[in-house]
Amino acid sequence: MTMYIYHFVEVLAFLLSVFYFSFLKTGCLKWLPAFLGFSCLADAIALAQGDKLHIDNIDIHYASGIVQLLFYGNVFYTLGKRENLQKLIWVLVCIGLVAYVFAYCVYFHQYVYFFMACIISGFFLVAISLAYLYIQFEENEEVNFFTDSGFWIALGVSLYYSGISIVFSLYEVIRQRDLRLFGERLYNTIPGALSIVLYSSIIITILLCRKKNILQPQ
């Protein structure tokens, strides 16, 4: 059930990004429709490979992880107002890419190493989004962040990647003890539930951009 809701929210976010693209194309979210379109397609392919065709779908998961790292890294790099934050983002994204490429090339069919790469890149994205939020709070103490679109995308990214990093770090425990929720193992169910949070925050971001606060560096 969680997976169906997650896919619905994901598709809804994609459709809204296309419909309101005119409000996004001048800011750091100009690639959002392409990113969400890729995410929807990748999830559909992974679902067909895993559940319908019963073949290994780890390659599409690697591709999704790399695209997510690049997209969110670019968003915060563009939004970042401080040179030291931009340098940090550049370094962390490069290290995250190296982790994915190394795990893919050396340990391709072993999911535990894919999860390790996800944990590393997820930790970096959490650090980047929290650093961005800290700078925003520090420089804009009187701003209502609940109406600021950058706040919502940073919040969604930090919650999502912190959650999946914890779950993936417990992969072997979940697998060995067969820990399940709603009939699915926790490393499938919880990321799906957190995806609802992430894509809901993206939807809020899109709607706020449409109203007044187009995301672009100042």
Tokens of 22: 């005119």
Q: Is residue 217 part of a domain?
A: no
Tokens of 64: 């999704």
**pTM, entire model:** 0.90
In which domain, by residue range, is 171 found?
2-211
34 pLDDT above the threshold of 90: yes
Q: Is residue 218 part of a domain?
A: no
- Window from 24-33, 48-57, 194-203 with minimum mean pLDDT: 48-57
Confidence band for 55, pLDDT divided at 50, 70 and 90: low
Residue 75: the pLDDT is 94
For residues 120-135, average pLDDT: 94
Q: Is residue 24 part of a domain?
A: yes
Q: Is residue 216 part of a domain?
A: no
> Which residues face 181 on adjacent strands?
184
How does pLDDT run across 132-180, given as a tens digit for each residue? 998 888 877 666 777 788 899 999 999 999 999 999 988 888 888 888 8
Q: Is the dihedral of CA 132, 137, 143, 144 positive or negative?
A: positive
Domain count, the chain: 1
Q: Is residue 108 part of a domain?
A: yes
Residue 141: the pLDDT is 65
Q: Is residue 194 part of a domain?
A: yes
204 pLDDT above the threshold of 80: yes
Q: Is residue 119 part of a domain?
A: yes
**CA-to-CA distance for 85 and 88, rounded, in angstroms?**
5
Q: Is residue 141 part of a domain?
A: yes
